[in-house]
Amino acid sequence: MREQLASIISEATAAAPAIVTRPDFEAFKARLSGPNGSLTSAMKLMASVPKEEKPAAGRLLNEAKAAIEKLLETTLARVEHAEAAARLGPPEDPTLPPPDDQEGLAHPLTKVREEIASVFHKLGFTVAEGPEIESEWFCFDALNTPATHPARDMQDTFFLPAQTRCAGTSKHGSEAYVLRSHTSSVQIRTMLARKPPIRIIAPGRCFRRDTVDATHSANFHQVEGLWVDKGVTLRDLKSVLDFFVREMFGNSAEIRLRPSFFPFTEPSFEMDLRSPDLGRLSNRWLEVMGCGLVNPKVFENVGYDPGEWTGLAFGMGVERIAMLLHGIDDIRHFYANDLRFLRQFA
Ligand code: PHE
Residue range 208-233, pLDDT digits in tens: 999 999 999 999 999 999 999 999 99
Q: Is the CB of 182 under 6 A from ligand 1?
A: yes
SS3 129: coil
Q: Does residue 190 belong to any structural domain of this protein?
A: yes
Closest residue to atom 12 of ligand 1, CA basis: 290
Q: Is the CB of 125 under 6 A from ligand 1?
A: no
Task: Kindly give the distance from the C-alpha atom of residue 108 to the centroid of ligand 1, in angstroms, as a whole number.
Answer: 23
CA distances from 68 to 4, 28, 32, 213, 282 (A): 14, 11, 8, 67, 79
Q: Looking at the structure, tell me whether residues 160 and 83 fall in a common domain.
A: no
Average pLDDT over residues 118-143: 96
pLDDT tens per residue across span 154-192? 888 999 987 666 655 435 556 789 999 999 999 999 999
Q: Does residue 102 belong to any structural domain of this protein?
A: no
Q: Looking at the structure, tell me whether residues 81 and 121 fall in a common domain.
A: no
Q: Is the CB of 39 under 6 A from ligand 1?
A: no
| pLDDT at 71 (0 to 100) | 94
Name the domain count of the chain. Answer: 2
Q: Does residue 95 belong to any structural domain of this protein?
A: no
Q: Looking at the structure, tell me whether residues 55 and 126 fall in a common domain.
A: no
pTM: 0.71
- Position 153 confidence tier, pLDDT thresholds 50, 70, 90: confident
- Pocket mutation for ligand 1, best pick of 258, 262, 287 (most atoms within 8 Å of C-beta): 262
Q: Looking at the structure, tell me whether residues 127 and 208 fall in a common domain.
A: yes
Q: Is the CB of 304 under 6 A from ligand 1?
A: no
Q: Does residue 98 belong to any structural domain of this protein?
A: no
Task: Kindly give the distance from the C-alpha atom of residue 252 to the centroid of ligand 1, in angstroms, as a whole number.
Answer: 25
Task: Kindly give the distance from the C-alpha atom of residue 160 to the centroid of ligand 1, in angstroms, as a whole number.
Answer: 22
Domain range for 327 = 108-345
In the predicted structure, residue 108 carries a pLDDT above the cut 80: yes
Q: Looking at the structure, tell me whether residues 137 and 266 fall in a common domain.
A: yes
Q: Is the CB of 290 under 6 A from ligand 1?
A: yes
Residue finishing a domain among 35, 58, 88:
88
In the predicted structure, residue 90 carries a pLDDT above the cut 50: yes
Q: Looking at the structure, tell me whether residues 237 and 327 fall in a common domain.
A: yes
Q: Does residue 292 belong to any structural domain of this protein?
A: yes
Strand segments (E) across the chain: 126-127, 133-135, 177-179, 198-207, 219-229, 254-262, 265-274, 286-294, 310-317
- CATH number, domain at 277? 3.30.930.10
